Amino acid sequence: MHIAVAGNIGSGKTTLTRMLAKRYGWEPRFEPVDNNPYLDDFYADMERWSFNLQIYFLNKRFKEVVEISKSKGYIIQDRTIFEDARIFAPNLHDMGMMSDRDFDNYSDLFDLMISLVGLPDLMIYIRSTIPNLVAQISKRGREFEKSIRIDYLQGLNKRYEDWIEGYKGHLIIVDGDTCKFESNPSDFKKITDSIDAQLYGLFPFDEQR
């Protein structure tokens, strides 16, 4: 089974992925951030490095989703291939940070890849406002994120909302501004209760409890 956690930069995806993996005994797959060879360059010069970064993520994410599709276990993924192609790359293109030529090339490659994989069995989307995202990004103190532009985050947030509005798979939405799942056990339980309700309708889940 493939469970995925989606959300903007700073929304708490990695934290929730880690907590749910521990709670259910699922295998976590985390976003390749710390060892990413393009992130520092990208945030310093988005226009120059946007295509390189997005191809890097697309490559890593496709390999991962193919592995997940072949697995018979329960895997929870921090960010999906759909977010790269439906949110991050189009946002960079709209901002003038990715050329028409590069975006068309990227989109053609994504369309080919996505024809070979399906949607996750369950998508968990963490919805957050810009002030909350900025506070979270500042709190974790990653050096390469200090130069993130507000208009970049705003564009991503709009695209996330548009994408989720038309999402066709099984979906849980978490309010990242008010649901403090990391520090409040009752808030975390609300999420796991929603997950249990969804998964009982999909597959037998008793062995994972």
Q: Which residues are catalytic?
A: 78
Is 174 in a helix, a strand, or coil?
strand
Q: Which residue in 51, 53, 87 sits closest to 163, CA to CA?
A: 87
Max CA pair span of the chain: 50
Residue 75: phi, psi to the nearest 5?
Answer: -125, 135
In what helix (H) or strand (E) does residue 172 lie, and over which residues does it extend? strand 171-175
- Give me 52's structure tokens: 């390189």
The four Cα atoms 75, 17, 31, 128 give a dihedral, to 10 degrees, of: 130
